[in-house]
Homo-oligomer: A and B are copies of this chain.
Amino acid sequence: MSLITVGTMAFDAIETPFGKVDRIVGGSATYVAYAASNFVKPVQQISIVGYDFPQEEMEALQARGVQTEGVEVVADKKSFFWSGKYHIDMNTRDTLVTDLNVLEDFNPIVPEAYQGAEFLMLGNLMPKLQLSVIDQLKVRPKLIVMDTMNFWMDIAMDDLKEVLKKVDVLLVNDGEARQLSEEVSLVKAARKILEMGPKFLIIKKGEHGALLFHENHVFFAPALPLEEVFDPTGAGDTFAGGFIGYLAKTKDISFENMKTAIIIGSAMASFCVEKFGPERMKEITKADIDERLSQFVQLVNFDIDLV
């Protein structure tokens, strides 16, 4: 049951109240691949990197069942570089540097070997590029999940709305849901967004969990209360990777199974924030994941007889 994931692979420089790293591997597709590869193989990566992207990082992904045939390597340019500094509350950050480098030329090509994938994860990218990937697929995947961000709503809303018509699940944060719908109430925002195309909407609220909307149903998954959030970079992409990875593993795209998939995504994100970049994602085992999932069950499970 293969999964195509499209997005950035990059270098990040990150500063949090707990420390800083000058250069660590990042990018949406990197985080998605690390999370999803715990559940499904192959993960078929589509991205672009420069001459400076370390071969051992590529090999580390390959060793986890990530196919990199769709990762273009540009010989004379550097990889995408992002630098940011988190505020003391960790909920907000300032972007210090965005060097697009290879990303300026990104024109994602779906390799022939990837055709027939049943699951597609469109990481946060220019909407036109997301659309191009969908159009290249000869058979529509069983499920298309799309991430995006406020930046594209500011400069490419029309394109974004075109993509929305073609996807099954949209992933945004609460601020983006409000911007896209022009509604303050998330319940009203969800209703409007579900009329734009997606059959499912996930609204991520960071440390406050995530909501899944579908028709008139709503499901809530909490974030695990953590002693320290060390570095939130990549948590949203890791959430997405856990979510679609679990769906691809179980081949079940019902609302009921998506509830479980969101809990899985939340669990994966709770690991991601424990160390800088994807470091923690490289370490965790199946036993770690099972233990964390048990914590989620404990966190929200209750018995009730109606009064």
Contact = CB atoms under 8 A, between A and B. Distances in A.
Interface in A76-110: 88-89
Given A188-B227, A307-B246, A307-B289, A219 B300 contact: yes
Interface string A210-247: 01000001111110011110000000000000000010
Please give the count of copies of this chain that the complex contains: 2
Interface residues of A, number: 47
A296 B304 CA distance: 10
Contacts of A296: 304
Given A185-B228, A225-B187, A293 B306 contact: yes
Nearest to A246: B307
Given A264-B307, A306-B293, A307-B289, A220 B187 contact: no
Nearest to A264: B307
Which of A39, A218, A306: most chain B CB closer than 10 A?
A306
A209 interface: yes
A303 interface: yes
Interface string A265-307: 0000000000000000000001001100110111111111011
Interface in A36-87: 38-39
A227 to B, nearest CB: 5
A241 to B, nearest CB: 14
Contacts of A219: 298-300, 302
Interface of A: 38-39, 88-89, 184-188, 205, 208-209, 211, 217-222, 225-228, 246, 249, 256, 259-260, 262-264, 286, 289-290, 293-294, 296-304, 306-307
Given A185-B227, A222-B222, 6 more contacts: A39-B307, A185-B226, A218-B298, A259-B303, A260-B303, A293-B307
The 3 closest A-B pairs by CB, nearest first: A259-B302, A208-B208, A290-B306
10 contacts: A185-B228, A187-B226, A209-B209, A209-B222, A218-B299, A219-B302, A220-B222, A220-B300, A260-B303, A264-B307
